[in-house]
Structure 1
Amino acid sequence: MVPKHLKHVAVVTTGGILLVAGIALLVLPGPGMLLVLAGLVVLSNSFPRLERHVEPVRRLALQGMRESVSSPLRIAGSVLAGLALIAAGIVWGLVPTLPFSGWPTGSGLILSGLILLGLLGYSYRNVTRERAAQSA
């Protein structure tokens, strides 16, 4: 059995990482508001005062999700950004003369690209389902 304080630390750490990654993705390419929402939901389990922020962020996240896949150009740009992050991660992992070179930096870039592509696929699937339900 996991001690209660260790479970609390794990929840707070996970929520904090999701929140920080989401905030970073607000200025980088990608649906950062979805990660901000996920972080707030996780943290609100430990900090009930955060619950009042969940619904406004949920509305913004859903709006951002729809906008991120609103046109083929936006989808293409996001896919290219995700692939560029993955390629940059491979380069940073393999080329030792780059600043901060090595696999810790490279794997972070690769993970960022994979998260971006995963969230883009999630957004596309949900928006497609939403449109199909509205037209039915």
Structure 2
Amino acid sequence: MKTAVSVTLGALLLVAGIALLVLPGPGFVLIAAGLALLATRFDWAKKPLDYAKDKAQQGIDEVKDSKVKAGLALACALALVVLGILGVAGVKLPFLNTLSAIVLILSGLFLVGTVIYARMQRNQAPRSLI
């Protein structure tokens, strides 16, 4: 029973994530979540999950090391939140309904959190193993 639930939920997250690659929303996050769930039951899902983790860490490292990239990411996050708020407020924008507006706001806030996390990593001193 647990395997069936894991496979079903993992597959749904994976499909939703793939759809959100072209729709507004955190597609990569859902893909990673789906792969993480599937990797608990299937070895084949571990390789793409490791690849996704590596790419996510590369992105965090780039934002951590560059004020320009961090600023651009925050500007994009602000744009997502503003568009989402306009959509929730009832402003008619093309291809935007209330659900996609809420997803835009959440995506923007997720991006802000990621940038803050990356910049905080820059301020932490490396820990020695001794």
- TM-score, normalisation: structure 1: 0.67
Counterpart Cα distance in 1 of 2:119 and 2:18? 22
Q: Does structure 1 conserve the Cα–Cα contact (< 8 Å) formed by 2:12 and 2:34?
A: no
Aligned residues: 127
Kindly indicate which of the two structures has a greater share of residues assigned to helix: 1
Q: Percent identity?
A: 26
- 2:39 alignment partner, one of 23, 31, 44: 44
For 1:84, the equivalent position in structure 2 comes to 79
Measured at CA, do residues 34 and 102 of structure 1 come closer, stay the same or move farther in structure 2, by a change above 3 Å?
A: closer
**Long gaps (5+) in structure 2:** none
For 1:13, the equivalent position in structure 2 comes to 12
SS across alignment from 1:133: coil
Measured at CA, do residues 67 and 51 of structure 1 come closer, stay the same or move farther in structure 2, by a change above 3 Å?
A: same
- 2:56 alignment partner, one of 61, 71, 76: 61
For 1:73, the equivalent position in structure 2 comes to 68
Counterpart Cα distance in 2 of 1:7 and 1:54? 16
Q: Does structure 1 conserve the Cα–Cα contact (< 8 Å) formed by 2:81 and 2:105?
A: yes
Counterpart Cα distance in 2 of 1:82 and 1:74? 12
Output the amino acid matched with 1:80.
Answer: A
**Long gaps (5+) in structure 1:** none
- TM-score, normalisation: structure 2: 0.70
RMSD (Å) for aligned C-alpha atoms: 3.4
Output the amino acid matched with 2:73.
Answer: S
Counterpart Cα distance in 2 of 1:54 and 1:65? 16
Query: Which whole-Å deviations, capped at 9, do the CAs of 1:78-127 have from their partners, x for residues lacking one?
Result: 11111110010011222343224442121121111111112222222334
